[in-house]
Amino acid sequence: MENTIVKAENYNSYFGDNHVVKDVNISINKNEVIAVMGPSGCGKTTFLRGINRMHELIPGATSKGKILLDGENVYDMNAIYVRYKIGMVFQRPNPFPNLSIYENVVAGYMLNGLKVSKADKDVIVERSLTSAALWKEVKDSLHKKGTFLSGGQQQRLCIARAIAMQPELILFDEPTSALDPISTSSVEALFHELKANYTLIIVTHNMQQAARVSDRTAFFYMGELVEFDDTKQMFTNPHDQRTQNYITGRFS
Amino acid sequence: MDQRIGIRNTKSVLFKGLIIFFAFVITIPLIIVLLYIIKQGITQVNWHFLTHVPAPPGEKGGGIANALMGSLIMVVMASIVAVPIGMLAGIYLSENPRTKLAYYSGLCVDILQGVPSIVVGIVMYFWLVKPFGGFSAIAGSVALAIMMLPIIIRSTEQTLKLLPDSLKEAALSLGVPYHRVILKVLVPCGFAGILSGITLSIARIIGETAPLLFTALGNNYFSTNITGQMESLPHVIFTYATSPYDDWHDLAWGASFILLLFVLTLNIVTKLLTRKWKIQL
C-alpha cells in the first residue's frame, strides 16, 4: 500500500452526456512503467488527463470518483497544484516557440514566477537534459530556440521540461505517435532510464511499444478498464476474451 | 478539338493578362498621390517648419511644432487607453469564442469598426466636451481610442486564435495559472501579430480629422495642456488648406508630407517588426 502512488477509485469521466471513462479502479506503484493501451476512443487518453486534471479544461468535460495521488484525492486539491506536481508529455512535441532550449527546460519555474538563481538553473538544465538523453546533442546550442530541434529532440526537450519540475509521476499521452522510428526508439530507450526515479504512465496506440517498455499494462475498451496485469502475462496469456481479441489483432 | 484547345489557351492568356493589368493599375493612383504630395511638400520641410508654431497671417514662415506635439500627445494617450482594453477584450474573444458574450461583443466590435469617425466625434462632443465646458485633448484622445479599439481587438483575437492549443496545454500541464499562461505564453508567442495590430491602428488614427474637429479642435499656439484645445497634424492641414493664403497652402502640403511620412513609416516598421519577431511554431 505504501508503494502506491496513484490510485483511481470508481473514476468516471464525461464529455457532456457522453460517458467516456467508466468506473475505473486501478492502483499504480512507484517506479513502475505502466502502459495504457486500447483502440481509439476507448477513453485511455481521457483517463490519463483525468489524473492531472487536464480533462476538465475542455468545455463540457466533467468527472466523478476519486484519483488518489500519494493517498490524497486530486479532486480535493487545487488543480494548478496537481498539474505542478505531475509531469505531462503530449502527443505532439510542444516546446514553447518563444523560448530557447535552456528556457524551455526551466519553463515550469519561469512561467510560475519562481525565483531560481542562475547557478541553480544551470544545474537543473544540465541534470534534466542529461536525464532526457539530450544534453550531449544540445549543450552547445542551449540558447537557440527549441523549435529548431528535430521532432524526436523536441519531444525529449518536453520530457526534460517535465523532469525539471522533479515530479514523482510523469504522464505520457502517445508520446511517440508523431515521431519517426528512430526518434521513437530514442524516446523508448529513455523510458527505461527514467524508471529509476519516476513513475511513468504511457498511453499508447502501439501494442509493440507497450510490450517493449512497460512493466504492467492496462487495457481499456469502450471506457472500461478491461484488464490490468503484468505486461508479459497480458501479452502471452490474457484473462479476458476482449484483450485476447485486441492483442491478436481481431480489432483495433 | 485542336482548334478548341487553341481558343482555351488564348482565353487563359487573356485572363492572366487582365489580372496582371489590374494589379498594376491599382498601384497608379497611390503612386501619383504619393509623388504629388512629396513634390509639393518636401520643399516646405525644414528645421524651422518642424520647430515653429504657425505664424500670424501676413507674416512669413511658421511651422507645425504645435501640431506635431499635439498629435504625439493624443496618440500616446489614446494608445494608453486602447491598447490594454483592446488586448484584454481580444484575449476574451479568442479564449471564449462560443459564449453569448463573445458573440455580442464581437458584433459590437464589427459595428464599431464601421461607425463613421465623425459620428464618434459628435458623440464625444456631447459626452466630454459640452459637459466639461470646452474642447480638450482628453476628449480627442478618447475619440481616437475608440477608433483604435476594433482594430486592436480583432488583431489580438485573430493572432491568438492561430496559436495551437498544444501550446496552452504545455503551460497548463506545468501548473501555470491561467493568467500567466495567457500573459507569459500566448501573448509573447503572438506578440508580432498583436504589435502589428497596434501600429496599424495608430497609422489609422493619426490621420483622423473628423473626431478631432469636435473634441480637441485646434490651437494656434504650442500647448501641452491636455485639458485644453490642442492642435493635431490632420487639423493643421485642414486649417492651412482652407485658408485664403497661398503660403499657408504650402504649409498644408508640408504637413501632409509629414503625416504621410508617419503613416508610411508605421506601415513599414510594422512589416519589419512582424517579420523579425515572427515566432516559428
- pLDDT < 70: residue spans in chain B: 1, 281
Sign of CA dihedral B236, B242, B244, B247: positive
Question: Based on the structure, what is the number of domains in chain A?
Answer: 1
Q: How many CB atoms lie within 10 A of CB B277?
A: 14
pLDDT at residue B253 in the model: 92
Question: Nearest chain A Cα to B96, which residue?
Answer: A59
Nearest in space to B270 (alpha carbons), one of B208, B195, B188: B195
The CATH fold of domain B47-277: MetI-like fold (1.10.3720)
Give A147 to chain B, closest Cα distance, Å.
Answer: 7
- Please check whether residue B131 touches A, CB under 8 A: no
Judged by CB atoms closer than 8 Å, whether chains meet at A147 and B172 is answered as: no
Please indicate whether residue A178 or residue A11 has the higher confidence score (pLDDT): A11
Is A45 a member of any domain? yes
> How are beta strands A199-204 and A33-37 bridged, if at all?
parallel
Residue with cell 492483442: A247
Predicted local confidence at residue B221, as pLDDT: 85
Alpha-carbon gap, residue B223 to B221, rounded angstroms: 6
Nearest chain A Cα to B97, which residue?
A: A59
The answer, yes or no, to whether ipTM is higher than 0.90 is no
The helix/strand/coil state of A61 is strand
For residue B149, what pLDDT is reported? 95
Contacts with A107 from chain B: Cβ below 8 Å: 171, 174
Kindly determine whether residue A81 and residue B175, on different chains, have CB atoms separated by under 8 Å.
yes
Residues of A (39-68) whose Cβ lies below 8 Å from B: 52, 54, 57, 59
B144: which 3 cell numbers? 481616437
Asked, for residue A139, whether it belongs to a domain, the answer is: no
Residue of A nearest to B184 (CA): A111
Task: Record the cell numbers describing residue A36, joined without a space.
Answer: 495504457
User: B175 and A83 in contact by Cβ < 8 A?
Assistant: yes
Residue A142 lies in a domain: no
Our CA-based measurement puts residue B162 at a distance from the nearest CA of chain A, in whole angstroms, of 14
From CA A27, how far away is CA B8, in angstroms rounded?
Answer: 71
C-alpha cell recorded at residue B180: 500567466
As a whole number of angstroms, the distance between CA B207 and CA B204 comes to: 6
The domains of chain B are located at: 2-42, 47-277
What the block records as the C-alpha cell of A33 is: 512503467
What pLDDT band is residue A252 in, cutting at 50, 70 and 90? low
Q: Pull the grid cell for residue B200.
A: 496599424
| DSSP single-letter state for residue A64 | E
Per-residue model confidence (pLDDT) at position A180: 85
**pLDDT of res. B26:** 94
Q: Give yes or no for a contact between A199 and A163, defined as CB atoms under 8 angstroms apart.
A: no
Tell how far CA B134 is from the center of its chain: 26
Best mutation site among B160, B174, B191, B280 for testing chain A: the one with the most A CBs within 10 Å?
B174
Q: How many CB atoms are located within 10 Å of the residue B281 CB?
A: 13
**All cell numbers assigned to B163:** 496559436
The answer, as to whether pTM is greater than 0.90, is: no
pLDDT tens for A148-201 read 888 889 999 999 999 999 998 999 999 988 888 888 888 888 888 888 889 999
Which residues does chain B have within 8 Å of residue A84's beta carbon, measured at their own beta carbons? 174-175
The alpha carbon dihedral of A204, A206, A209, A211 has a sign of: positive
- CA gap A163, B87 in Å, rounded: 34
Nearest residue in B to A82, CA atom? B175
**CA B254 – CA B53 distance, rounded (Å):** 13
Asked if B173 lies within 8 A of A52 by C-beta distance, the reply is: yes
Domain assignment of residue A99, yes or no: no
For residues B170 and A90, the answer to whether their CB atoms sit within 8 Å is yes
Confidence at residue B163, expressed as pLDDT on a 0 to 100 scale = 92
Region A200-226: what's the mean pLDDT? 91
DSSP-based three-state secondary structure for A69: strand
Contact A113 B180 (CB under 8 A): yes
User: For residue A214, what is the DSSP state?
Assistant: -
Check B170 against A80: CB less than 8 A apart. Answer: no
For position B1, what pLDDT does the model report? 65
* Residue among A59, A83, A96 whose CB faces B172 most closely: A83
Which residues in chain B are contacts of A108 at CB distance < 8 A?
174-176
Place of cell 502471452: A236
How many Cβ pairs closer than 8 A exist between chain A and B?
77
Partner-chain contact A96 B185, CB within 8 Å: yes
pLDDT digits (tens, 9 = 90+) for A28-58: 999 999 999 988 888 899 999 999 999 988 8
* DSSP code string of chain B: -HHHHHHHHHHHHHHHHHHHHHHHHTHHHHHHHHHHHHHHHHTT-SHHHHHSPPPPTTSS----HHHHHHHHHHHHHHHHHHHHHHHHHHHHHHH-TTSHHHHHHHHHHHHHHHS-HHHHHHHHIIIIITTTTS--HHHHHHHHHHHHHHHHHHHHHHHHHHS-HHHHHHHHHTT--HHHIIIIIIHHHTHHHHHHHHHHHHHHHTT--HHHHTTT---SS----TTS----HHHHHHHHHTSS-HHHHHHHHHHHHHHHHHHHHHHHHHHHHHHHH----
Angle ∠(B246,B247,B251) on CA atoms, nearest 5 = 115
- Residues 84-113 on B with a CB inside 8 Å of A are 98
Chain B interface test: which of A96, A157, A203 (most B C-beta within 10 Å): A96
- Cβ contact B159:B169 at 8 Å: no
Range list of H helices, chain A: 44-51, 79-85, 101-105, 107-111, 118-131, 135-138, 151-164, 181-194, 207-213, 231-236, 241-247
Per the structure, the complete domain to which residue A57 belongs is given by 4-93+168-247
| Partners of residue B181 in chain A, C-beta under 8 Å | 111
**Structure-block grid coordinates of residue B45:** 520641410
Residues of A in contact with B176 (CB under 8 A): 80, 108, 111-112
Cβ of A95 within 8 Å of Cβ of B180? The answer is: no
CA distances from A143 to A99, A100, A105, B187, B280 (A): 9, 5, 11, 21, 15
**Chain B residue nearest residue A93, CA to CA:** B166
User: Are B232 and B212 a contacting pair, CB within 8 Å?
Assistant: yes
Q: Which of B173, B186, B187, B280 to mutate to test binding with chain A, by most A CBs within 10 Å of its CB? A: B173
Share of chain B above pLDDT 90, in %: 67
With left for phi above 0 and alpha for psi between -120 and 50, is residue B8 left, alpha or beta? alpha
User: What is the C-alpha separation between B247 and B58, in angstroms, rounded?
Assistant: 9
Quick one: pLDDT at residue A131?
87
